[in-house]
Chain A
């Protein structure tokens, strides 16, 4: 099973700041990686798939990069609605999720 490790567990930032979230895979997943956003009491929302492709309707301030074992989700300027938990997910070998990064208001 491919293990995805997300860091940091919690990111405390202010609106307008840049957020950089990391996801590291225990073995290469090529670019078969997605990012989801989840707010309390809601289902996750797909932001990015295939490492860097933004889903329809997702603002341009969200971007994904990486390949192999190291991936990054960047939010260039945090809006109030961006404070949430973010999960990465790989589909290279079965499907697994990372443990999540909580982006909280500082």
Chain B
């Protein structure tokens, strides 16, 4: 069965960086794009960007394009999301989510990783 397992919770200081991992299993890793979506406490969902695990090409939401990098390691079926220059407003649960066959909808989600930014 399809599973996306994310790394554990992080606490970071303002200005630091965080790198969250998402390990995929149960399907052919390179056949499905992967997205990152975040959710601030008590708030809605916000799309951050997408990575093609086959070639590694990426596309980022305008809001994040200067601070985020998404990468992949096909040998371990893992995608990564690094967010730099963290501020308190970046406190959120970060999800990886698999694309439903290049349709830009999300059919499987990781369990989420809470990133807390606090001095």
Instruction: Give the size category of B's interface with A.
Output: 10 to 19
A43 touches B46 (CB 8 A): no
B residues near A36, Cβ cutoff 8 Å: 45, 106
Say yes or no: B44 contacts A98, CB within 8 Å: yes
Whether B107 lies near A97 (C-beta < 8 A) is no
Interface hits, B80-115 → A, CB 8 Å = 95, 97, 100, 103-107, 109-112
Most chain B beta carbons < 10 A, residue from A49, A94, A95, A100: A95
Query: Interface size for chain A: under 10, 10 to 19, 20 to 34, or 35 or more residues?
Result: 20 to 34
User: Could you mark each residue 51-85 of chain B with 1 if its beta carbon is under 8 Å from any beta carbon of chain A, else 0?
Assistant: 00000000001100000000000000000000000
Query: How many Cβ-Cβ contacts under 8 Å join chain A to chain B?
Result: 49
Q: What is the CA–CA distance of A98 and B43 in the complex, to the nearest angstrom?
A: 11
Is B47 interfacial (CB-CB < 8 Å)? yes
Which of B47, B62, B106 has the most CB atoms of chain A within a 10 A radius of its CB? B106
Q: Other than the known A43-B109, A44-B95, A100-B44, what 18 A-B pairs have Cβ atoms closer than 8 Å?
A: A32-B104, A36-B106, A43-B110, A43-B111, A46-B105, A46-B107, A49-B103, A49-B105, A50-B103, A89-B47, A89-B105, A89-B106, A91-B103, A95-B35, A95-B61, A95-B104, A97-B44, A99-B44
